[in-house]
Amino acid sequence: MTREKLGLTMRDVETASERLARKHANEEYFVPISRLSDFETKGVIPSIYRLYSLAVIYRRDFREPLAWYGVNLEVSVSDLEISAPPRSHFSHALTKTGAIELPVRMDPSFDPRKTLNFGRMIEQWGTVPLIYLEGLSRVDYTYGYIGSEDLTMYPILPPSSFIQVDESKNKVAEGGWRSEYERPIYFIETRESHVCSWCTLTRDVLIVQPHPLSPVSPQVLGHDEAEVLGQVVGVAMRLGEWRSVPDSALAPKEPSAPI
């Protein structure tokens, strides 16, 4: 038992937690002997305050006591899929993740030039601390999520996609692309929300231009109404699970000025 390995008695834990409760002026941090006994012998689950007290007293990272009760703060991408917020937004859920599962050995026949079943090319998965990936990271990257009801760049960027944004590329390009797939897509913050779209910048306004097949209408925003946060440089999306677009969403757009 952690307490006994540290040479602490139940009275020691009670006394230390009482000091912590006084320090924070919050009685919720106090762990009386009777309650500590319940934690150790009856499987009673501590409150978050008492769990914090135990972490401090036992000199443990707060995540470890949480793991004793089945709570893992290393958020899994699969867990994020249980919720699909309707509005686009920054995604901070994975910013504190300390380690991830990565392919650590590939099949010798792996050829990145060919389309293939990537899973079959992985001979071994391993848990890799994110600090080891520092050399491959860019501090000016941030991550976003396309809301489950955001059809602005449909079908290029389906709703519920995760995007990687290069914040250093926050100047709207004026042309030079040969197709819609080469045209830069930008992540934009408005006064009310976030949106991913093509952009046209004039002296006075920013024109937010959806995909031609999208049911969303263009927006004309003043420079003080929107900020280009960066250019979308990566995307992760699911294929084959997209629902059909409601008929109401496909209603004809209001006429707008040529762009």
Q: What pLDDT, on a 0 to 100 scale, did the predictor assign at position 199? A: 94
Domain boundaries defined on the chain: 2-68, 77-84+94-136, 141-250
CATH 2.10.109.10 fits 141-250, yes or no: yes
What does the pLDDT read at residue 162?
86
pLDDT value, residue 39 = 92
The answer to whether the peptide bond before residue 155 is cis (omega within 30 degrees of 0) is yes
Provide the β-strand partners of residue 219.
Answer: 208
E strands, the chain, are: 89-90, 99-106, 122-129, 141-145, 162-166, 186-190, 194-201, 205-209, 219-222, 226-236
User: pLDDT per residue over 18-36, tens digit each?
Assistant: 999 999 999 999 999 999 9
Strand-strand pairing, 162-166 and 141-145: antiparallel
Q: What is the pLDDT along the chain (259 residues), one digit of tens a residue?
A: 789 988 999 999 999 999 999 999 999 999 999 999 999 999 899 999 999 999 999 998 888 888 888 887 766 666 777 787 888 777 776 666 666 565 666 677 766 555 445 555 666 666 555 555 554 555 567 888 888 888 999 999 988 888 888 989 999 998 888 888 899 999 998 888 888 999 998 888 999 999 999 999 999 999 889 999 999 998 887 776 655 555 555 554 554 444 4
Closest CA to 221 of 196, 188, 255, 252: 188
Query: Quick one: tokens of 106?
Result: 């590939």
Of 203, 201, 189, 177, give the one whose Cα is nearest residue 259. Answer: 201
Calculate what percentage of the chain has a pLDDT beyond 70: 73
pTM: 0.56
Give the chain's count of helices (H) and strands (E): 7, 10
Q: How confident is the model at residue 99, as a pLDDT? A: 61
